[in-house]
Amino acid sequence: MNGFYNLLKPEGISSSHLVVRLRGMLRNKTGVKMKVGHLGTLDPLASGLLGVAVGSATKLFDYFLQKTKTYEAIVVLGEQTDTLDRAGKIVSTKAYLGVSEAEFIDASKAFIGEIMQIPPQYSAKSVGGVRAYKLALKGQDAPLKACCVTIYSIELIEKPSFNSFKFRVRCSGGTYVRSLCRDIGNALGYPAYMSFLERIENGDFRICDAVSLEDVEKDLSNGFVSLEEFGKKFPRLDYFEEHEKKLLNGVPLVVDLPDCFVTVYLKERFYAIGQIISGELKIVARDL
């Protein structure tokens, strides 16, 4: 199997735990040990879409790294936790006097576009070779540098309670929605934390097409997207007998295309996902 699973991650388990369970399930059902890896982690308290690559599709991780992601989140104003989500300890409070929907929308506009964002102390960012959250657990402040991320849109969905706002955000890879909640709160004059997070889009995957791990256990085809199906969005390159040996041996082929990903067919059968780099074809993920 070479392709992707479009999984629903429930709250309360880590992305890595879900991947380990899927890997074990695939091995038990197929008798083959496969490479399995997620395409962008979700915090344990977050839910929603988790794309998982299987087999040679794991080599396409870089394709998803900077893909646009869409989340729905709830920010709570008047308190801030050390983790910037509801799992942490309250470290800051301020009496909440009220914020209107119009004020929230106006404040969020300042974060549209490219912004510099400081990641949460409790994050997997590396500081001197040590994960920031490990330093935070020891009570040490990690000197995290601000990172450039892009916020494409912020849309207010509803006001679930007197001091909370639910919103939808489209953003680049690497964005911390927890940090965005903190920063919107600061712009409104209040400490803030994120109480809910659900990813509904990750690049080409949508939550409406996602399945649970239990669905996969019933039938391995549930939620599975083969490399060939995934590659239909890319330009198609056809090769025949005269190119077969070069393709099999990894010899670069000159292609008159700009840098992009492509679908490669050999003798009219799907062969691989490739990438054009400086006019040469590089095979990334073969349908072994």
Active centre residues (catalytic) = 43
- Cβ-in-10-Å burial (0-12, 13-18, 19+) of 131 comes to middle
Of the candidates 62, 73, 48, 38, the residue with the CA atom closest to the CA atom of residue 176: 73
Give the C-alpha separation, 12 to 181, whole Å. Answer: 21
Q: Please, which residues bridge with residue 131 across strands?
A: 126
- Answer positive or negative: Cα dihedral of 177, 179, 182, 187: negative
Residue type, 165: F
Q: Please, which residues bridge with residue 170 across strands?
A: 70, 153
- Give Rg (Cα) of the chain: 22
Give the C-alpha separation, 234 to 272, whole Å. Answer: 12
Which structure tokens are listed for 143?
Answer: 């000197």
Tell me how far CA of residue 226 lies from CA of 31, 57, 103, 232, in angstroms.
Answer: 19, 9, 46, 10
Q: Which of left, alpha, beta for 78 (phi over 0: left; psi -120 to 50: alpha)? A: left
